[in-house]
Amino acid sequence: MKKIFIKLAALLLIGMSTQASAFCGFYVAKADTGLFNESSQVAYVRDGDTNSVTMASDYKGAAKDFAMVVPVPSVIQRQQISVVNNATMQQLDAYSAPRLVEYFDSDPCQPRVFPRPMRPMASAAAPRPAPMRQRAAELGVKIEAQYKVAEYDILLLSAKESGGLITWLTEQGYKLPKGAEPVVGSYLKQDMKFFVAKVNLKEFDKSGYTKLRPIRITYNHKKFMLPIRLGTVNAQGKQELFVYALTRKGRVETTNYRTVKLPSDFDIPAYIKNPKEFANFYRDMFRRSVDNERGKAVFLEYAWNMNWCDPCAADPLTPTQLKELGVTWANANPNTSGGAQDVYITRLHVRYDRNNFPEDLMFQATGNQENFQGRYIIRHTFKGNATCPAAERYFKTLLPQRQEREARVLANLTGRDVQSIRNRMK
């Protein structure tokens, strides 16, 4: 049977078989992770030295071809591994996604009334056959632990050297890319173990799910980091990674790469309201932002306390969903249906490759609670008649000036031709 190699952005995702490759307004659209191909999502809860990392990808192949290898700092026990509902990750994405808002111009002949500000929202498995372990021992590989977790079979491996581990994984049917050995060796020198997960087809069929669920692991480690180097070993081009960092106090930033705010709070032409247009705008704007930083930056797309939002693109996560991700300090009251929680969420977006991101992502949790969101504004023209001097000035001077600014802003954000934008606006 032809084998397939699939990659997971922040980690190494391998097939068991050759490579395949203070804001007000009305929320009207969002730019979610579904706009990008081969994107991965990681929800990272950091509390002291406790780390809960939930890993999800847009893997679309057959379940039997899925496998994942992740460097971890220690041997993880069965109770430290769980699965997370896909809906939880999807809601986290929708809640924090860059968004489009719209306003409607008032009658220039009527006094302007400012809206009141929004109020905060209230609210152990059986052992494998002996030959596998014997061969592992011959190659200097130790099977530290072995579990069944929902639809996954899990192995925790350590090794004396990378060659033996690569050989053992290959013999067991895992297809590793060329160039993996030195990267694996660098993690072994840090005394890291390897978390290996593949799908148990019998359990997956029994589960009734049609899509693999994200895997969550919890461990104690002083370093606040995410290993990404294995995912770049044989990557064809750049990869897309979204990190949702959840902390008690404030914003999360990278320490070994620049953390840059996504361009935000710009007025753009009204035709961008079309969902397809907004999707194309966001992709072009993000590509342009990456190019402006020479491909070496991590972008901040959202930073806010989940106690409130303005406006909310989606409902905040419930206490149950937050607990599912490892937020131990969330309100556990089962009668609380709202999402008001003292949880600070940071959404980071990185497009990376081996040349521009040669190191793993290192983070720090800061006390910065300044609100930020990727937000783009559409202002609709007043449709009435000019019945006063102010209205005449609005139509003849103010509106054309504003529309020209919108065209130039869109061209600057995306790199598109400004005359083409003007033509679309007409």
Task: Express each pLDDT in 17-64 by its tens digit.
Answer: 322 222 223 434 456 666 555 678 999 999 999 999 999 876 666 777
Strands 50-57 and 39-47: antiparallel
**Is the pLDDT assigned to residue 378 strictly greater than 80?**
yes
336 pLDDT tier (thresholds 50, 70, 90): very low
398: in domain: no
Q: Is residue 319 part of a domain?
A: yes
Tokens of 141: 């590989």
* Residue 375: closest CA among 24, 42, 101: 101
Segment holding 216, helix H or strand E: strand 215-220
pLDDT tens-digit map of 208-223 = 888 889 999 999 999 9
Q: Which of 2-16, 79-93, 324-338 has the lowest mean pLDDT?
A: 2-16
The DSSP secondary structure of 122-159, one letter per residue, reads P--PPPPPHHHHHHHHHTTEEEEEEEEETTEEEEEEEE
94-125 as b/e: b if 16+ CB within 10 A: bbbbbbbbbeeeebbbeeeeeeeeeeebebee
Look at residue 306 and tell me whether its pLDDT is greater than 80. yes
Asked if residue 335 has pLDDT above 50, the reply is no
> At residue 251, does pLDDT exceed 80?
yes
The answer to whether residue 69 scores a pLDDT higher than 80 is: yes
pLDDT at 235 over 90: no
What's the CA gap between 415 and 381, in Å, rounded? 25
Whether 117 shows a pLDDT value over 70: the answer reads no
Q: Across residues 118-140, what is the average pLDDT?
A: 61
**pLDDT value at position 150?**
93
What pLDDT, on a 0 to 100 scale, did the predictor assign at position 294?
96
Q: Are 322 and 330 in contact (CB under 8 A)?
A: yes
What is the pLDDT, as a whole number, of residue 175? 74
**Is residue 391 assigned to a domain?**
no
3-state secondary structure (DSSP) of residue 326: coil
- Domain that includes residue 291, residue range: 12-380
pLDDT at 387: 84
Condensed to tens digits (0 to 9), the pLDDT of residues 392-420 reads 999 999 999 999 999 999 999 999 999 99
CA distance 403 to 268: 8
DSSP annotation of 265 = S
Number of domains observed in the structure of the chain: 1
Q: Which of 351, 349, 354, 350 is nearest to 235 (CA)?
A: 354
Joined together, the tokens standing for residue 160 give 């004396």
Q: Residue 88 has what pLDDT?
A: 96
Is residue 157 included in any domain, yes or no? yes
- CB–CB of 218/51 below 8 Å? yes
Beta bridge partners of 104: 380
CA distance 94 to 312: 9
Amino acid residing at 217 = I
Residue recorded with tokens 């590989």: 141
Cα 414 to Cα 357: distance, rounded to the nearest angstrom:
24
- How high is the mean pLDDT of the chain? 83
Q: Averaged over 359-375, what is the pLDDT?
A: 94
In a domain, 226, yes or no: yes
Which pTM was predicted? Answer: 0.85
Residue 399 included in any domain:
no
If one compares 49 and 179, the residue with the highest pLDDT of the two is: 49
pLDDT at 281: 96
Assess if residue 68 is contained within a domain: yes
pLDDT exceeds cutoff 90 at 127: no
pLDDT at 185 over 50: yes
Considering only residues 348 and 383, tell me which one the structure prediction assigns the higher pLDDT.
348
pLDDT of residue 20: 27
71/252 Cα distance (integer angstroms)? 22
Evaluate whether residue 389 is within a structural domain: no
